Structure formats: C-alpha cells, structure tokens
Amino acid sequence: MKALIILAILITFAIVFLRYKKDKNVKKLLITMASFAFIISLAVVGNLTRAVIPIYITHMILILIAWGSMFMYIFKHKYCWWWIFAPVLTIVLFLGLEFFEGSAHGLV
C-alpha cells in the first residue's frame, strides 16, 4: 500500500512537471506545488484521527477529493480552494471531540 502511495505522489510530480513544461506558467506551478504540499501535510497530520474510525475514513475521502481538486486545477484551470481545505474540518472536528470528551479516543 505504501508503494502505491509513493507511486501516486511521483506520478503527480511528473504530471505537474510535464504541464509546466507545456504551459511555462510559473504561477500555476507554484500554486499547484503549494497545494500539493498542503494536501500531503494534511494526510500526514490526518493520521492523528485514526483513533476514531468514522472521522478517519471521512478524512481520507476528503484527502482524495482534495487531490482530485488539485488535478482539476492542473487540467481545467479551476481552483476549488474549499475542497483543498476540506480535510482541515475533520482534524478540527477530532480535536474538538478530544477537547470536550477528553482522551477517551486514544489521543495522548
């Protein structure tokens, strides 16, 4: 599974690089790379939510939607920032749950 994730990341980098070589649009490259770094960091931080399975599954689905939204920006030039920032909601929900319920969900 980890090999597939690394392969998907490398393919994404290759697609971004090839689109940059075709378009020569530095602004689009920087926005895409910043969004991609943000999505990857949200995926890493999202492992925090693994203690509550429904929130974790929702978070992973939102990560995939954010990744798809980034591809929509690459190919259709339409930037949907609300989908890219959507996984933040599950992290905030989890932290709020931990704040109100305590560490009963495994966050130490």
Going from the C-alpha of 32 to that of each of 16, 43, 82, 106, the distances in angstroms are 8, 16, 15, 35
* Largest separation between any pair of C-alpha atoms in the chain: 52
The number of beta carbons lying within 10 Å of the beta carbon of residue 15 is 15
Domain edges within the chain: 2-101
What is the value of pTM for the model shown? 0.85
The 10s digit of each residue's pLDDT in 18-65 is 999 998 889 999 999 999 999 999 999 998 888 889 999 999 999 999
The 10s digit of each residue's pLDDT in 78-108 is 989 999 999 999 999 998 988 887 766 555 5
Give the list of residues 6+ apart from residue 60 with CB closer than 8 angstroms, or none.
Answer: 46
